[in-house]
Structure 1
Amino acid sequence: MRAAGLPRETRLRRAGDFAALRHASGRFGGRCFSVRYRPNGLGHPRLGLAISKRVSKHAVERNRIKRLVRESFRRIRLELPAVDLMVMAREQTAGLPGPELLAELDGLWKKLRSVRLEATLKADDPAGTIVR
């Protein structure tokens, strides 16, 4: 039986990948999370996490947030475009219940799909003749 974890190729691991996202990327966010993204040309999305001690001084709480983000990404990753993602938690994330955080993450994934779709439409129609 195959493990249900997150495959190694779907994670950002190198410092250079994180640095590239910090310097040249699109971004959006919600109440609890901020997301940076950029196309990666690999054919699948990759996830990186940045959950600092500013969010919570307790490692247990930071690890809970990371597990929730990874699980949410694992469930939706096949529907996402081929981008590198860095998810950063905001200070108000700590202490919120899991279902509330998962609901916000679902909204962010939906926003990511629409942002990428709009960029694709603009590239396909440089004259701007497509009406939405």
Structure 2
Amino acid sequence: MPREARLRRAADFAALRTVSGRLGGRCFLLRFGNNETDTARLGLAISKRCSKRAVDRNRIKRLVRESFRRARPGLPTVDVLVTARDIAVAESGAVLLAELDALWKKLRPLKPEQSSVTIAR
């Protein structure tokens, strides 16, 4: 994946963990928020809680990256943080890709926050 399509800074990950939209499926949780770039960006958080074996975690990461690569041209300009759930390890690649494709279709930009305006009388 090109550099501009990845979340790299810790501050970007922290921002998505605090203020963001959420989408969940059976195997994945997506947190997303608007960004100022002209393309969607992906961050992965596949922890040892999901699986102790690195080979399982790496398989999930490869599948998520491939799914994102295919869906990226149609995605809005958002930052996406993908977290895998425990059950993802036991599922086949086809099931995981199908769930990710469904989640990408639901993805939408967050509404910009409106500042509260008080009227002085």
Determine the C-alpha separation between the residues in 2 that align with 1:76 and 1:92.
23
- Does residue 102 of the first structure (1) align with residue 97 of the second (2)? yes
Deviation, 1:92, is 0.6
1:68 to 63, 67, 80: 63
- Out of 7, 15, 18, the residue aligned to residue 12 of structure 1 is 7
- CA–CA distance in 2 between the matches of 1:96 and 1:30? 13
Q: Which residue does 1:78 correspond to in 2? A: 73
Number of residue pairs matched by the alignment:
113
Q: Extract structure 1 runs of 4+ deviating beyond 3 A.
A: none
Task: Please give the alpha-carbon distance, in whole angstroms, between the structure 2 residues aligned to 1:95 and 1:57.
Answer: 13
Q: Which has the higher helix share?
A: 1
Q: Which runs of 5+ in 1 are unaligned?
A: 1-5, 124-132
CA distance in 2 between counterparts of 1:29 and 1:78 reads 22
Aligned to 2:118: none
Matches of 1:73 and 1:107, distance apart in 2: 12
- Distance in 2 separating the partners of 1:38 and 1:97: 29
The C-alpha deviation readout for 1:2-43, integer Å capped at 9, x for no partner, is: xxxx11110001111000000111111100000000000201
* Percentage of matched positions with identical amino acids: 63
Structure 2: runs of 5 or more not aligned = 115-121
| Residues 1:28 and 2:29 are matched in the alignment | no
Which residue identity lines up with residue 10 of structure 1 in the other structure? A
Deviation at 1:119? 4.7
Residues 36-82 of structure 1 show CA distances to partners (whole Å, capped at 9, x for unaligned) of 00000201000000000011000000000000000000011010000
**TM-score, normalising length from structure 1?**
0.82
Q: Which has the higher contact order (CA 8 A, sep 6+)?
A: 2
What CA distance in whole angstroms lies between the structure 2 residues aligned with 1:44 and 1:7? 11
What one-letter code is carried by the residue in structure 2 that aligns with 1:44? T
